[in-house]
Amino acid sequence: MDILYGPWREGYFTDDLSDCVFCDIVNSPSSDNDNSVVFRNKDLFIVMNKYPYTPGHILIIPYMHVDSPEKLPRNIWLSMFSIAQDSMNILYEYGAHGINMGMNIKSVGGAGIPQHLHLHLLPRWNGDTNFITSIGNSRVYGVDFNSVYEKIKLLAKKYLG
């Protein structure tokens, strides 16, 4: 068996887990930098994915704790997608050649945090699939997370206010 060493993920396995990590972020705006929040408005927030597929992977998350879109008030649903549309400009200016956007709804739908709905925006680049991804079923994150966070946060101010 091959072992891929990733000590930066230790907290994911050892920290005391709350009932909902997204609700924890909702309720702690004073910790936005520690939680990698790049934007907040009255209905939702945007956070960098703590364990991203690609640099700049962001999540758009409503404050309301629901597990499926039909439970959201329509105005919040529309706000999520309006913000997603504007957020695409952030990722394109960051350098993305394309973007994957989607939701995994509930555990069976593939959601890693199934109890709190969230929308993924993943920047993609020409040639971003490589040998280790294709053969090793692993991903390599080749840039500093905090540096990416600062760039995305600055671009969020430009495009989202």
Q: Which of 65, 97, 116, 118 is catalytic?
A: 118
**155: in domain:** yes
**3: in domain:** no
116 is catalytic: no
Domain holding 145, by residue range, is 15-160
Q: What's the CATH code of the domain at 127? A: 3.30.428.10
| 53-91 confidence digits (pLDDT tens) | 889 999 999 999 999 999 999 999 999 999 999 999 999
Helix axis angle, 145-160 relative to 74-94, nearest 10°? 120
**102: in domain:** yes
The mean pLDDT values, 10 residues at a time, for the chain of 161 residues are 60 65 96 97 96 92 97 97 98 97 94 95 84 58 88 97 88
Kind plus residue range of the DSSP H or E element containing 57:
none
**2: in domain:** no
**5: in domain:** no
Q: pTM of the full predicted structure?
A: 0.85
Residues contacting residue 95 through CB under 8 Å, at least 6 positions apart: 123, 125
Q: What is the pLDDT of residue 130?
A: 59
Q: Report how many domains make up the chain.
A: 1
**4: in domain:** no
Calpha distance 25→30 (Å, rounded): 9
**10: in domain:** no
